[in-house]
Amino acid sequence: MKSLIRKCALGTLFVAVTSAASAATFVNVLTGGTSGVYYPLGVTLSQVYGEAIPDSKVQVQATKASAENLNLLQAGRGEIGFSLADSVSDAWKGNAEAGFTKPLDKLRAVASVYPNYIQIVALADANIQSLADLKGKRISVGAPRSGTEINARAILKAAGLTYADFAKVEYLPFGESVELMKNRQIDVTLQSAGLGVAALRDLSAAVKVNFVPIPAEVVAKVGDAAYQSAKVPANTYEGQTADVATVAINNLLITHEKVPAEVVYQMTKGIFDNLERLGNSHSAARQIKLEKAIEGLPVPLHPGAEKYYREQGLIK
Q: Given this model, what pLDDT does residue 87 score?
A: 94
DSSP codes, 124-176 = GGG---SGGGGTT-EEE--STTSHHHHHHHHHHHHTT--GGGSSEEE---HHH
**pTM (predicted TM-score):** 0.84
Whether the Cβ atoms of residue 70 and residue 210 lie closer than 8 Å to each other: no
Rounded Cα–Cα distance for residues 177 and 200 (Å): 10
Q: What are the residue boundaries of the structural domains of the chain, listed by start?
A: 24-114+251-311, 116-249
Q: Provide the 8-state DSSP code for 103.
A: -
Rounded Cα–Cα distance for residues 304 and 260 (Å): 8
pLDDT tens-digit profile, the chain (316 residues): 444 444 444 444 434 333 344 568 999 999 999 989 999 999 999 999 999 999 999 999 999 999 999 999 999 999 999 999 999 999 999 998 888 999 999 999 999 999 999 999 999 999 999 999 999 999 999 988 888 999 999 999 999 999 999 999 999 999 999 999 999 999 999 999 999 999 999 999 999 999 999 999 999 999 988 899 999 999 999 999 999 999 999 999 999 999 999 999 999 999 999 999 999 999 999 999 999 999 999 999 999 999 999 999 999 9
Q: Which amino acid makes up residue 119?
A: Q
- The domain covering 116-249 belongs, at the CATH homologous superfamily level, to Periplasmic binding protein-like II (3.40.190.10)
24-114+251-311 and 116-249: identical CATH topology:
yes
The CATH number assigned to the domain with range 24-114+251-311 reads 3.40.190.10
Q: Which amino acid makes up residue 81?
A: G
